[in-house]
């Protein structure tokens, strides 16, 4: 990945003090933190700074951002609420997943609305091929951060560590080049793309047909450091 890309990864969580919300920004292919923070407004500012400089950009939200909707044929209703492929024992519909999904909808929509007001001309997609081909400047995706013990990066709290881990995992994928696939999928069920719905609501330039697309989900585990 030779083109410098602004990657902003967000750990969704309460913004009340002490904040459980954190974000980390990287300028790929560099792996050093470009910036970090603990509120949605500064996360959008960091993303907008990359976009304003003309660079491609990626925003990852650590929250379920696409949900599976099974077929209405036969007994398809029996699959309602079951985990997405790749989630394992952390389904989007269970306690923690459902809670962060609701929080992510609110915080993600707010952030995208602020982005639309800050950089009104930005083009957005949830389709990696569209973004990689240069037909959209900003790629929206989901981060899935998990791991036994959830070790914390030196000098960071858990939320900052999760955000940094998600950003670094995205950099790893970009370095590896195409093709790469999503780590979590709604398929074989239909997908309700919440990222696309939020982007349309926010007034961003995105193909509304993406609302039925699966999205890119990047799995990460915070690295243990000394």
**Amino acid 223: pLDDT:** 56
> 140: which 2 tokens?
């929206």
- State the DSSP H helix or E strand holding residue 124, giving kind and residue range, or none if neither: strand 124-125
Judging by DSSP bridges, how do beta strands 22-28 and 5-11 pair with one another? Answer: antiparallel
Report, in this order, helix, strand and coil percent for the chain, each rounded to 5: 35, 25, 40
Predicted structure pTM score: 0.92
Handedness of CA 169, 174, 175, 178 (dihedral sign): positive
**Amino acid 117: pLDDT:** 97
Judging by DSSP bridges, how do beta strands 5-11 and 124-125 pair with one another? Answer: unpaired
* pLDDT tens, the chain, 226 aa long: 447 899 999 999 889 878 889 999 999 999 999 999 999 999 999 999 999 999 999 999 999 999 999 999 988 899 999 999 998 888 888 878 888 999 999 999 999 999 999 999 999 999 999 999 999 999 999 999 876 444 445 455 888 999 999 999 999 999 887 667 899 999 999 999 999 999 999 999 999 999 999 999 999 876 554 3
């Amino acid at each position: 990945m030779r083109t410098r890309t602004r990657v902003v990864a967000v750990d969704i969580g309460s913004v009340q003090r002490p904040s459980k919300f954190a974000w980390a920004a990287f300028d790929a292919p560099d792996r050093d933190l470009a910036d970090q923070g603990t509120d949605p407004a500064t996360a959008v500012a960091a993303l907008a700074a990359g976009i304003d400089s003309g660079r491609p950009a990626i925003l990852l939200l650590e929250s379920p951002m696409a949900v599976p909707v099974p077929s209405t044929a036969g007994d398809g209703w029996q699959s309602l609420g079951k985990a997405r492929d790749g989630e394992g024992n952390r389904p989007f519909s269970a306690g923690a997943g459902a809670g962060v999904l609701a929080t992510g909808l609110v915080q993600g929509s707010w952030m995208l609305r602020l982005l639309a007001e800050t950089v009104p001309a930005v083009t957005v997609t949830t389709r990696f091929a569209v973004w990689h081909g240069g037909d959209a400047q900003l790629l929206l995706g989901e981060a899935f951060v998990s791991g036994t013990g959830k070790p914390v990066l030196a000098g960071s709290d858990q939320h900052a560590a999760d955000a940094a881990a998600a950003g670094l995992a995205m950099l790893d994928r970009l370095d590896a080049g195409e093709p790469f696939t999503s780590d979590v999928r709604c398929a074989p069920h239909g997908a309700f793309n919440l990222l696309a719905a939020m982007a349309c609501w926010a007034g961003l330039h995105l193909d509304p047909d993406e609302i039925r697309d699966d999205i890119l989900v990047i799995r990460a585990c915070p690295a243990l450091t000394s």
